[in-house]
Amino acid sequence: MFKTTRELDNLLKKHESYRAGCLNLIASENYASEKVRSYLAGDFGNRYGCYATMHPEEREYTGNKFIHEFEMGTHELVKEIFHAKYVDLRPIGGHMAGMSVVLGMLEPGDLVIEVSLSDWGHGLVGPMCEVRHFDETIQVEYMAFDENRGVDGEKLKMQAKKLKPKMIIFGGSGTLFFEPIKEFRGIADQEGIILAYDASHVTGLIASGMFPNPLEEGADIMFGSTHKSFPGPQGGFVVSNDQDLIEKVGNTLSPTLVTSHHLNRLPALAASILEMKEFGKEYGAQVVKNSKALAKALDGIGFKVLGKGRGFTDSHLLLVDLGEHVTGAPAKELEKANILCSDDFSGSNPEVRIGTPEVTRKGMKEKEMQEIATFFKRALIDQEDPEKLKRDVEAFSRQFIGCEYAY
């Protein structure tokens, strides 16, 4: 139990020192600038901003004059970077944003096709159906992937024509390549299918122009988070060019899923969008360069990097099958040496997911990716003493403590 604020300060200092000595390759995390972080501590954190979906000016709480102005200004920034007519920023995370899309648009008995957990999906509808009430309402099937970890478009077309789902959700937590949304627009129109895109992981790549914009490719609606490849505060969003869809989502969000939508993140989000507008193109390009360089380096020293037939990756992450080198959870072993990444969340594959957003923000480039690959070899192939390796990882990581592509 904490007894004084000094204890809080000391523990936070320990955390910050520890993380400065870690090599953070967790694809769902990023490194926000001091400017962005500074906006999280304002007065907004103690205020409510409840409003009707299509009438945000009609606030339930008084005292929101400037909060409303700030929120609408942030809406305009989000619309601009994602080329959308409508936006809802009330989801406090990407998962809530996805739930609002699913629950707002489906009727009892409707079928959704999404990416399964075993294929590095976000596990949106599948886990929802573990709750009995949802299991009796929503049906779920999973799309297939090819040998290079891309969506198998032909199998999905057959699946869509046979099963006639109400919704297909593209995107997941292991996206290596852009999904074939454009080629599904015609089928969706014929069969009455809603095309949704889970952009949680690739939001920063879309905003920086490294990934095509799903809304312009034919998606009806896009949802995601703002803290993965996009280097903003934690939070969620939904965007669309269809007013009816965004209204259904918004009416599902509030007050069913959220009333206070954590207003303090809005100034921080606005600041991070302004950073992306100014530095995003260069940042996004370097993220992808680093991913490709690290994948190639790992492949060159004996690791089985997935997606090799398509150049390993076009995104902020890469996937490595470690079945030849480990028997347990690889991320836990790597953590002993201060190397942070993610296991396959389904527990069915000996795969590890490696992301480059944070190391890119800290200034690392292709040259450093070679050294990072060597750390993986020392840990998993050479099975070097973790304590010795940790000292080298820490010394390497502490060389990069700044924040680039930022104010």
* Segment 384-403, tens digit of pLDDT: 999 999 999 999 999 999 99
Amino acid at 320: V
| Spacing of C-alpha 109 from chain mean position | 29
Pairing of the two strands 194-198 and 51-52: unpaired
Q: How far is Cα 380 from Cα 374, in angstroms, rounded to an integer? A: 10
**Class of residue 226 by CB neighbours under 10 A (exposed 0-12, middle 13-18, buried 19+):** buried
User: How much is the mean pLDDT over the chain?
Assistant: 95
Chain CA centroid to CA 369, Å: 22
Note the CATH number of domain 279-397. Answer: 3.90.1150.10
**Per-residue CA distances from 61 to 49, 50, 89, 217, 252 (Å):** 7, 7, 18, 39, 20
Q: Given this model, what pLDDT does residue 347 score?
A: 60
- What residue type is 43 in one-letter code? D
Percentage of residues in the chain having pLDDT higher than 90: 90
The pLDDT assigned to 131 comes to: 84
Per-residue pLDDT band for 346 (boundaries 50, 70, 90) equals low
Instruction: Please answer whether residues 372 and 343 qualify as being in contact, where contact means their C-beta atoms are separated by less than 8 angstroms.
Output: no
Burial class (CB within 10 angstroms; exposed 0-12, middle 13-18, buried 19+) of 6: exposed
> How would you class 298 by CB atoms within 10 Å of its CB: exposed for 0-12, middle for 13-18, buried for 19 or more?
buried
Q: Are 315 and 211 in contact (CB under 8 A)?
A: yes
> Which residues are CB-contacts of 116 (< 8 A; sequence separation ≥ 6)?
123, 126, 142, 143, 346
Residue 133 pLDDT greater than 90, yes or no: no
Do 113 and 165 touch, CB atoms closer than 8 A? yes
Please determine, looking at this structure, whether the domain spanning 35-271 carries the CATH number 1.10.10.10: no
Q: What gap in Å lies between CA 195 and CA 214, rounded to an integer?
A: 10
DSSP string for 99-163 = HHHHHHH--TT-EEEE--GGGT---SHHHHTTSHHHHTT-EEEE--B-TTSSB-HHHHHHHHHHH
Q: What would the mean pLDDT of 134-150 be, rounded to a whole number?
A: 92
Range from 12-21, 122-131, 186-195, 236-245 carrying the lowest mean pLDDT: 122-131
* Tokens, residue 205: 């790549």
Do the beta carbons of residue 140 and residue 129 sit within 8 Å?
yes
DSSP state of 352: E
Q: How is 50-95 classified by DSSP, letter by letter?
A: -EETTEEEEESSSS-HHHHHHHHHHHHHHHHHHT-SEEE---SSHH
Residue 345 has pLDDT above 80, yes or no: no
* pLDDT exceeds cutoff 80 at 208: yes
Distance CA 335, CA 23 (A): 9
Do residues 173 and 353 lie in contact, with contact meaning Cβ atoms separated by under 8 Å? Answer: yes
- Check residue 401 and report its DSSP letter: -
277's CB contacts (< 8 A; 6+ apart) are 81
Residue 397: count other Cβ atoms within 10 Å of its Cβ: 21
Over residues 331-337, the mean pLDDT reads: 94
Query: For 54-95, how does the pLDDT look when each residue is reduced to its tens digit (9 = 90+)?
Result: 999 999 999 999 999 999 999 999 999 999 999 999 999 999
Distance of alpha carbon 398 from alpha carbon 407, whole angstroms: 21
Helix (H) or strand (E) holding 377: none
CA distance linking residue 390 with residue 393, whole number of Å: 5
Domain ranges in the chain are 35-271, 279-397
Contact 64, 71 (CB under 8 A): no
Residue 178 is predicted with a pLDDT of: 95
Percent of the chain surpassing pLDDT 70: 99
**Axis crossing angle, helix 243-252 with helix 94-105, rounded to the nearest 10:** 110
**At 46, is the pLDDT very low, low, confident or very high (cuts 50, 70, 90)?**
very high
The mean per-residue pLDDT over the stretch 92-118 comes to 95
